[in-house]
Structure 1
Amino acid sequence: MCSSSTDDHWIAYVTDRFRANPTRHYAEETLSRLTDLWAFDQLCTQPIGVTQPPWEREGVDNYLPSSTPQDTGENTTEPLDPSVVSPLLMWAIRMVDDLADDILAAWVEWRRMQQLAITNPSSPAGLAALDDYLLPRLAAGTGLPTTEWRGKTVLAATFIAATVGCSVNQVSGFRQRHELSTLQPGSCPLLVAVTGQINGRPWREHLDFNEVSTLMRQLATAAMIVCLYLTGMRPQEVQGLRSGCCPDPEDGSRHLIRSHHYKNVTNDDGQHVSAGEEREVPWVAITPVVRAIRVLERMVPEGELLFGSAHHDFARGRQRGGALKNSSMNLRIEDFIAWINRETESHGLQNQGVPQDPHGAIGLGRFRRTLAWHIARRPGGLVALAIQYGHMRTVLDARTSSGYGSRSRRGIHRVLDVETALAAADTAARLRDRLAAGEKISGPAARRALTAAVQAPRFEGRTITQKFAKQAADYLARDGLVLFDNPDASLICVFKRDNALCEPGPDATAPNQFDCRPGCGNAVRLDSHATELLEETDRIDKLAALSPQPLAKRLRIAAEQYRATADTHHATAQPAEDLS
């Protein structure tokens, strides 16, 4: 690809190369090698003028083939363990919401000081200022500002030079002139206000010059996790987002994420349009995602990739084309988790640490499956932003909205179907076991629940393949014969659209469990549910006894409602044999 070549030549080559439909992994490796060819030409003393591949500017995904059944599909990927994803998401949102302003302000100051240190000349005045700054500290035995360099503790030349107005060379000469063979580590505090808090207390006494690039990396990773997890996007779709992709709506409606695609985009003359075109259907963005995008937009120039490699090498500032690669993003996530666990130790918050996932490393592809898992199994429950999970079933499912799933190769509704079907089958299995153990059942949908439990497929120990998504969708389409556990309401929903009081959409295959209402014709309860209600009643009664009168009154009313519901169950419940 010499200087006379164009993007069309690159596109024609890879199109022909991938005509045999290779795996995405093989195709990605091929594009990487072609990029190496261009990069090597830039380093040659006599370059032949290899042009930059278009995927380095536009993102690689649009030049890769669709996933095939032989690839590792997202439906076969293990979701993240709840004990892992809950603190990970909490810390990611904490970084974006509570700590981002401090970190970004420190980044501005860090870059200002870097520039000062480069431009400061060597002068007698600078040398005198250096001595005035360091000699009293040296005499008093207090720590000098230091940094780590090649395994050694050395004077923080850039920080000191920018602080006192001398040159970097003058700082380097200070250690030699004063024969400082060993140095004790010392801090490099920035004159940046610390406003962020963790658990109601400032998260730092001061921000240190040496940690700024690391903090920027962790902040960017936190924003990436929020975008990956709370949009339902695939990793390559997040990598392709650009600054300005999520403008504030003028009419107060939902925020929408708009992006471009580049593959097979041509003008009227059939020529490839390198600028691409906007995708027809955007993604819906909930508030944490909008905030994460706003943070990323403060890191990159207008119109640039939010995860462009050139703007995310905070320590070295190397100019690289394209977005961060999957391997790099995976490493950053692991590094972020290690950073979180160090922070929890220093703040005495060990219970907020991120444990090791039982299924191994936290790869990018696992977030999307995990989102579907939580929507299906934890509606309104145990993880951060649980209420958003409930609403996001409507936002993400193409069958109930104009959301994300309608425009993807394999929309997230397929991933959601898989997790919902697995959860429903688990609920049916538990219902069978409890009835077999002698528990009684009550509720207007009790007979349907027994039928659904008998007819439900068994998935225990089954390997989930790509074909399972179709089977899951067929299973969920059996209106009135699918069971949904709702632990927050202490009941099982035998979902039938026409009976539902939670106002599901016309084509919904699952209830809005975050909006479960008393008196619904789809509800059933077992003896164990009634026991849960009575235990909750006792807990509320104890809380009411310690509460001010107005609050105590409301708590006792709630307790009476729970007690009445449990009493109704015991008065009307029947053994399964009596309903057969």
Structure 2
Amino acid sequence: MNTQVLITAQLEEDPPVLMNRQLRPDDTRRGSLSRFSDATWDLSPGVFEDHSTMISLNFEVFPEHWRQDVKTYFWHLINDEKIRPLPAGPVEALPSLRTIAFVRPHLLRLITWFETQGIRSLDKATPKILDALLGDLSETDLTYAQKRHILTETRRLWVYRDVVPVSMQLPAAAPWHDERAYDLLGRPPQKRENRTPRISDGTLAPLMGWSIQFVENFADDIVGSYHQYLELIKNEYRHRPVESEQLQASDRKQRLRRTLAALKKADVGLPGRVLADGTREVRWQHLGRLARGPGHSFPKFDSKMIARSGLPIDDNAYLTVPCSAMLDGELWRGRFLAWDEIISLTTHLQTACFVLLTYLSGMRPGEALSLEQDCLILDSKTGLWAVSGIQWKSAKNTNGQKAAEGQQRSVPWIVHPLAAEAVRILTKLSSGRLLFPNSLRPRAIRGLNSPDNLRAGTARTSSQIGTDLVRFIDWVNDYCTSNNRKDSIPADPHGRVSPSRFRRTLAWHIVRRPRGLVAAAIQYGHVATYVTQGYSGSYASGFPDELGFERWLERIDNVQDVEEYLNNGGHLSGPAATELEQRTRLATAKFLGRTIPTRRQANALLSDPTLQVFKGAGMHCVYNQTTALCSRNDQGPALGECRSACSNIARTDGDINELKEMVAELNDDILAPPIRYQRAQLVASTLTKAIHEHESNQNDD
């Protein structure tokens, strides 16, 4: 019996779709796993990332003639345990379920093209026809990436030709042989900028400021009220056990009496709402929550007791945990938080924690969203805070293949104390395993519930946290408008502040603004020290690649600026002026216009001699290790320790303008103590001499 017959017989038994895949141990759908005959396959039970969205395959989109054979192909993609390297492809690996889900739209485009050509069996796909496919792709409006994916899926289909049905079997010769995508499609139209835009300083500074405000100032008020919310909601019908006791009338009255007395003592009125005509009515359900009794029965049986209490009707239903956080000398949100706003405020606090955690650690969004309880560690010897977690990207099993269940990090992230405080607050907010649960509302124990089979994980997704960020910024801006504040968060020029932008922004600030400030006066250099220690500094984290890539972009920007300056007749001065011009011309010829490298390639190219030029304060360091006065190692210059006598210094007109500003500041400091003033004058004299030499040589030119 040949292979195809065996496969057909196996599939006729309608096997599970995830027959050879590891399943989540806590998944509740194991008894209803998708079968081969289903029109849609749910792959989520085999996805271990808690922050993952639902992953599924819908085969109804394929032409009916191809549908069954396409399903057979995908079943083998999922369950075939043989490693099948692609021609001109990446490192050998079994495709992950997420990769397989990404195959579908590109395979659909491929199948649709063959269908429009009247080709209903892929064994007819001769080299001439495949070249025609390339020609048609070049004329479509698809992006370069989409075209490349179609080529990849053609080759992936070819390597499975021994197990797929005849109609899906490409000819024996490998499609396009070993030619790479850019040989077939041409070089991609790439720019040298990072595709993920950094968050602008104008947006980041107030965003960080308000995030810190929530974590350091508002958190106690929100956490206290949220915990009361969790206790009170247990008194609602949907959250109360079916077998809970039925209150006797005397117990109901006693509880209500105690509640009314407590409200009066706290100077809180009856929970209410303001109607359209300006009158107020009692919100009996919330009074029932507070009294742990049936709120609907109070107006019928206990109206006299309520009237005798003399309590007014409030404009809202308030929780009774008093607020204490002050902002500009006043309570930030009134004396109490309202029942209706506590979930949104708690979500805003959770979002603020996410901002601090990701920006001050360099974590990927998914890594932060997958953090669990007890992940925070304090090293008693160094005093540094660390966060442990599960690594998904680059996680390998003993066979060298992707570990679907992830791996515990061998070395944790080293984080800033503010990020550690964010983790502590998240721990207080979460009663479950995850620090970023999908919902802060407790799940009802009876009545209607939202479906629980949408995805495997129970953490917040990147998409959800992205929406949370938008709502957080909107809340801050509304708050600023209502309170006439000037520190609102302006819109970012590059659009929505997405979760993935924090990691790139941190890398940019570490490289470009080493002496700058994060909101609340956290030095970027300080943050850089934390982030680049421990796990975040290892290549498994990917963050050093981010830094290398950002440094590459900085160097190329610098080359371009100096090149433009020289082409416009700019003058250079200083002992390294000639060397700076030579390196700039060589780097321009060598790198400008070059296809953007990968992050690892950028890191390697940073050692190129022509790129060893660093912009400092009032000068350019044309670094030469043997002559540098600031540093004698291979780590590059210490720009904060630059000495005026160093032979590596060169200056442009822009540098001279910076020196003039420094001299003006030094001369203005006339009230400084004598010793410091004399030192300042010496420095000013040295800088003035550099200015004079630059301008004198410029006039000579």
Q: TM-score, normalised by structure 1?
A: 0.72
Q: Give the match for residue 179 of structure 2.
A: none
Deviations 1:148-204 (A, max 9, x none): 99xx996444543455675322457699999xxxx9971445443434344565423
Equivalent runs, 1:107-186 vs 2, <5 Å: 107-115=226-234, 121=247, 123-125=252-254, 145-146=271-272, 155-163=282-290, 167-170=294-297, 186=315
**1:526 maps to which of 646, 652, 655:** 652
Matched, 1:535 2:661: yes
Indicate conservation of the 8 Å contact 2:263/2:270, yes or no.
Answer: yes
Structure 1, 319-328 or 515-524: larger mean CA deviation: 515-524
Q: Give the match for residue 381 of structure 1.
A: 516
Indicate conservation of the 8 Å contact 2:462/2:499, yes or no.
Answer: yes
Distance 1:461 1:396 in 2: 31
Distance 2:302 2:383 in 1: 61
Deviations 1:361-405 (A, max 9, x none): 22222222222222222221254377643245455559xx76444
**Alpha-carbon shift at residue 58 of structure 1 (Å):** 5.2
Distance 1:198 1:499 in 2: 54
Distance 1:148 1:102 in 2: 25
Indicate conservation of the 8 Å contact 2:369/2:459, yes or no.
Answer: yes
Given residue 526 of structure 1, which amino acid in structure 2 is its aligned partner? T
Indicate conservation of the 8 Å contact 2:271/2:287, yes or no.
Answer: yes
**Alpha-carbon shift at residue 220 of structure 1 (Å):** 0.6
Q: Give the match for residue 28 of structure 1.
A: none
Gaps of 5+ in 2: 1-15, 34-41, 54-95, 104-143, 150-189, 241-245, 307-311
Indicate conservation of the 8 Å contact 2:22/2:404, yes or no.
Answer: no
Indicate conservation of the 8 Å contact 1:450/1:576, yes or no.
Answer: no
Matched, 1:573 2:694: yes
Matched, 1:431 2:558: no
**Alpha-carbon shift at residue 552 of structure 1 (Å):** 6.1
Given residue 387 of structure 2, which amino acid in structure 1 is its aligned partner? I
Distance 2:387 2:229 in 1: 31
Given residue 572 of structure 1, which amino acid in structure 2 is its aligned partner? E
Distance 2:559 2:697 in 1: 14
Would the alpha carbon gap of residues 440 and 324 (structure 1) be closer, same or farther in structure 2, given more than 3 Å must change? Answer: same
Q: Give the match for residue 454 of structure 1.
A: 585
Q: Give the match for residue 364 of structure 1.
A: 499
Indicate conservation of the 8 Å contact 1:479/1:497, yes or no.
Answer: no
**Alpha-carbon shift at residue 222 of structure 1 (Å):** 0.9
Structure 1, 91-100 or 514-523: larger mean CA deviation: 514-523
Indicate conservation of the 8 Å contact 1:438/1:575, yes or no.
Answer: no
Given residue 346 of structure 2, which amino acid in structure 1 is its aligned partner? M
Given residue 477 of structure 2, which amino acid in structure 1 is its aligned partner? N
Q: Give the match for residue 368 of structure 2.
A: 238
Which of these two proteins has the greater Rg computed from alpha carbons? Answer: 2
**2:462 maps to which of 326, 329, 342:** 326
Matched, 1:494 2:622: yes
**Alpha-carbon shift at residue 56 of structure 1 (Å):** 5.6
Q: Give the match for residue 130 of structure 2.
A: none
Would the alpha carbon gap of residues 459 and 420 (structure 1) be closer, same or farther in structure 2, given more than 3 Å must change? Answer: farther
Q: TM-score, normalised by structure 2?
A: 0.61
Deviations 1:509-545 (A, max 9, x none): x555566666555443334333333334445655655
Would the alpha carbon gap of residues 520 and 264 (structure 1) be closer, same or farther in structure 2, given more than 3 Å must change? Answer: closer
Would the alpha carbon gap of residues 379 and 575 (structure 1) be closer, same or farther in structure 2, given more than 3 Å must change? Answer: farther
Gaps of 5+ in 1: 1-7, 16-30, 42-49, 136-141, 546-550
Would the alpha carbon gap of residues 481 and 132 (structure 1) be closer, same or farther in structure 2, given more than 3 Å must change? Answer: closer
**Alpha-carbon shift at residue 224 of structure 1 (Å):** 0.9
Indicate conservation of the 8 Å contact 2:211/2:355, yes or no.
Answer: yes
Distance 2:675 2:236 in 1: 64
Deviations 1:410-433 (A, max 9, x none): x12222222222222222333344
Given residue 20 of structure 2, which amino acid in structure 1 is its aligned partner? A
Indicate conservation of the 8 Å contact 2:469/2:497, yes or no.
Answer: yes
Indicate conservation of the 8 Å contact 1:544/1:555, yes or no.
Answer: no
Matched, 1:258 2:388: yes
Would the alpha carbon gap of residues 264 and 128 (structure 1) be closer, same or farther in structure 2, given more than 3 Å must change? Answer: closer
Q: Give the match for residue 286 of structure 1.
A: 416
The share of aligned pairs that are identical, in percent, is 24
Would the alpha carbon gap of residues 202 and 544 (structure 1) be closer, same or farther in structure 2, given more than 3 Å must change? Answer: farther
Would the alpha carbon gap of residues 577 and 248 (structure 1) be closer, same or farther in structure 2, given more than 3 Å must change? Answer: same
Q: Give the match for residue 203 of structure 1.
A: 332
Given residue 248 of structure 1, which amino acid in structure 2 is its aligned partner? L
Indicate conservation of the 8 Å contact 2:667/2:684, yes or no.
Answer: no
Indicate conservation of the 8 Å contact 1:146/1:156, yes or no.
Answer: yes
Given residue 489 of structure 2, which amino acid in structure 1 is its aligned partner? V
